[in-house]
Structure 1
Amino acid sequence: MKKFNYILFSLALITMLTVSCSKWVDYNPKEDYVITEKEYLKSESDYRTMLISVYTPLQWLNQAVVVGEIASDNAVSGGENASDVLSLQQIDDYIHTPINSTLQELWTSAYEGVNRANYMTQYKTTNLAGTTVSFAGKDAMYGEVYFLRAYYYFTLVKFFGDVPLFVDKRLGLSDSKALSRAAKAKRKNYKICGSSFIRKSIAVSK
């Protein structure tokens, strides 16, 4: 009897594992109404909506002017006391370290803008499904993308000097440790090339 129960239990366990494995392998995100990355960039509307996301990090750089004014001695950090917005107080007193929340926010926001612009340029010709989506004004729209990316890099250079430069694709976690700081001359050439495309795009849109 014990042997029979053992065999029965083993068969039940094998059946459960087989069903579970099959369900895992055959799972389709759409079964749970999950939108995947491949659902994007299938129409002109998708591209233009994605363009808005490239503009979004501009609002996160609102402290750039404030930091510039404080660092140049055109303004003081102010505040209720010496510990109010400590990151700005440190910049005002020229005692800030690499660990500064305001500067870290500027760094993160600017590179988020770069990453979003790179995502669009990565799929300019074809989308993730390998389909080409053509529409009137696409080149002019990408002129905006390239301008925004150049502006984000300009902001990074203005605050941090030599910074990592990547323009081919969106940066992944595995790429973050493989990047090195690019020389200013290289970034200058990149911005000149980008400006040339932007001028052509504007001319086409008129």
Structure 2
Amino acid sequence: MSIEVSNIANLPTKHGKFLIKAYKDGCQEHLAIMSTNFKELENPYVRVHSECLTGDTLGSMKCDCQNQLDLALDFISKEGGLIIYHRQEGRNIGLVNKINAYALQDKGRNTIEANLELGFDEDERDYSIVKFILDDLGVKKMRLITNNPKKLDYISSIGIEITQRIPAITKVNEYNKDYLDTKKSCMGHLL
């Protein structure tokens, strides 16, 4: 597969100043959001953030995605590192199916049951672009910001040393409590 890569540009945000680079594989476009000192870091903080339009952009309280993204942007801005914005909406089932899964959740299904009922696995994400981005940026070791054991396993499997896991714990609310409980009890998230 051919991957198109952009130049690096400046990205000033409310969280701080960053550098940004885009990667396109097929129809999906992903981002590397780097602290301005990223190239100087031997052991950067890294978050692989999975896209969540309803959370990241609209502020949905059904998940903790926007809170985790804000936490990572603030942290990386201060401490230095990288956020890979992994554009595989709804664990890679797409926006239409994610909203269909929301409708099933409104009827009492949990996030896994909803995906399965729609004919998907509990998690359809493919992390191969993450390897490409990390290789492109020369990352050999990192301090990974995650609660997801699959991300820990994947990063280790591609030969990158994880020197530390930083939890991405955010506030629980009445709308995301069941979602987070399911991620912890059924998907092994480290919450």
TM-score bucket (shorter structure) = under 0.3
TM-score by length of 1: 0.23
When the two structures are superposed, what TM-score results if normalisation uses the length of structure 2?
0.25
In terms of fraction of residues, the more helix-rich structure is 1
Please identify which structure carries the higher strand content: 2
